[in-house]
Amino acid sequence: MSLSNLLSIQDLDSKIIWQILHTADEFKNPNGGKPKKVAALNGKTVINLFFEDSTRTRISFETAAKNLGADLINFSAKGSSVSKGESLKDTAQTLKAIGGDIVVMRHWASGAAARLANANWIDASIVNAGDGTHEHPTQALLDVYTIWKHFGDDFSKLKIGIVGDILHSRVARSNLLLLSKLGAQIYLIAPRTLLPMGFDKDHSTLPGVSVSYSLDAVLPELDVIMELRIQQERMEGGFFPSATEFSNLYGLRKERLSKLKENAIILHPGPMNRGLEIDATSADSEKSKVLEQVQNGVLVRMAVLFLIGTKS
């Protein structure tokens, strides 16, 4: 299997997942500091096409492309009022005329990356950098890379808790699929209102996945706790009564920190709402790998762009 697009974790088999992780590791600077710089994508053009706000994902892909020697075009489609299908097609044709080799796309609509890859509007390879509430595959890959560097090859021993707004989270969806493929035991920890269809306390539609409505009940068993961002703008949506209540029940706070296993790690895809899903003590604790995640993001995105950009 060779990688020609990265649209969904669902398309990846375990061989290619490990190939991405090992390739990412090869880009790590042996002396610490910035990743290696290579010329593998000299003469290739990577286009960052962002229909939705992003800081770290865009900058991460930008750094990754530059480290590989690719030319980079940042295309911000913010403010476009054209209806979705038309605008995407028009944009794709513009990009085709410019001549991009890899398009990294973030879009507010679920399925937009797959649409762009399969509609024959463009010859470039497509990397999904987040599509609606569907998937964010490179985020899951960088989370798994971070977990792998801490715990080693055997994911089947690991209990991983994903906490918070799972319903709307593309990060959670991609992580769920990826960790499940690697054989980890996953707890979805959230109020019933923030769980996707098919998941409740007594029932789960994916192997290795169980559901808990209580964080405190499973906290001492977890090797990895992944807090998701609560989107403040959804507070009025009736998913939970108040921010304080959510934080009391599901937030990672000082008093919960001491109940975690000695070698457990804390992940957060960022940006963090300090005081809501995670407090300052937890976010800045030794267990927190949030900044490592950002560094690893560049390595993993280099691996993805490398494998796609050099396909024969």
Partner 1 sequence: MNTELGVDLLSRDDISRAIRRICHEIVESNQGLENCVVLGIPTRGALLAQRIGNTLAEIESNSKTPIPVGTLDITIYRDDLQFRSQKEVTPTTIPASGIDGKTVILVDDVLYSGRTVRAALDALRSHGRPQKVQLAVLIDRGHRELPIRADYVGKNLPSAANEVVKVSLAELDGNDGVKIFRRVEDLNKVEVSK
- What residue has token string 């997942």? 17
Active site residues: 56-57, 84, 106, 136
Least distance CB 102 / partner 1 (angstroms)? 14
- What residue has token string 């304080």? 244
Question: Applying CB under 8 A, which of residues 10, 156, 232, 310 lies at the interface with partner 1?
Answer: 310
What is the SS3 assignment for 301? helix
Considering beta carbons, is residue 228 or 304 the nearer one to partner 1?
Answer: 304
Least distance CB 86 / partner 1 (angstroms)? 34
Least distance CB 295 / partner 1 (angstroms)? 16
Euclidean distance between CA atoms 137 and 5, whole angstroms: 11
Residues 273 and 243 sit within 8 Å (Cβ to Cβ):
no
Quick one: three-class SS letters along 236-268? HHCCCCCHHHHHHHHCECHHHHCCCCCCCEEEC
**CA-atom Rg of the chain in angstroms:** 19
- Residue 103 has phi, psi (to 5 degrees) of -110, 120
Show the site string, 47-76: x = touches partner 1 by CB under 8 A, - = not: ------------------------------
Please tell me whether residue 36 binds partner 1 under the rule CB under 8 A: yes
DSSP annotation of 11: G
Residues 178 and 21 sit within 8 Å (Cβ to Cβ):
no
Please tell me whether residue 32 binds partner 1 under the rule CB under 8 A: no
Please tell me whether residue 16 binds partner 1 under the rule CB under 8 A: no
Residue range at the interface with partner 1 (CB under 8 A); choices 22-30, 221-229, 243-251, 255-263: 22-30
Question: Applying CB under 8 A, which of residues 27, 187, 246, 250 lies at the interface with partner 1?
Answer: 27
Please tell me whether residue 156 binds partner 1 under the rule CB under 8 A: no
Please tell me whether residue 307 binds partner 1 under the rule CB under 8 A: yes
Please tell me whether residue 312 binds partner 1 under the rule CB under 8 A: yes
Please tell me whether residue 17 binds partner 1 under the rule CB under 8 A: no
- Residue 296 has phi, psi (to 5 degrees) of -65, -30
DSSP annotation of 43: T
Please tell me whether residue 31 binds partner 1 under the rule CB under 8 A: yes
Euclidean distance between CA atoms 235 and 231, whole angstroms: 7
Please tell me whether residue 29 binds partner 1 under the rule CB under 8 A: yes
Element (H, E) at 306: helix 290-309
Please tell me whether residue 2 binds partner 1 under the rule CB under 8 A: yes
Element (H, E) at 227: strand 224-227
Residue range at the interface with partner 1 (CB under 8 A); choices 38-46, 191-199, 272-280, 293-301: 38-46
Question: Applying CB under 8 A, which of residues 4, 10, 22, 248 lies at the interface with partner 1?
Answer: 22
Considering beta carbons, is residue 25 or 221 the nearer one to partner 1?
Answer: 25
**Helix, strand, coil % in the chain, rounded to nearest 5:** 40, 15, 40
Euclidean distance between CA atoms 242 and 260, whole angstroms: 25
DSSP annotation of 230: P
Considering beta carbons, is residue 20 or 267 the nearer one to partner 1?
Answer: 20
Q: Could you tell me how many residues of this chain bind partner 1 (CB under 8 A)?
A: 19
Residue range at the interface with partner 1 (CB under 8 A); choices 32-40, 182-190, 203-211, 271-279: 32-40
- Residue 72 has phi, psi (to 5 degrees) of -130, 135
Task: List contacts with partner 1 (CB under 8 A).
Answer: 2, 19, 22-23, 25-27, 29-31, 36, 38-40, 306-307, 310-312
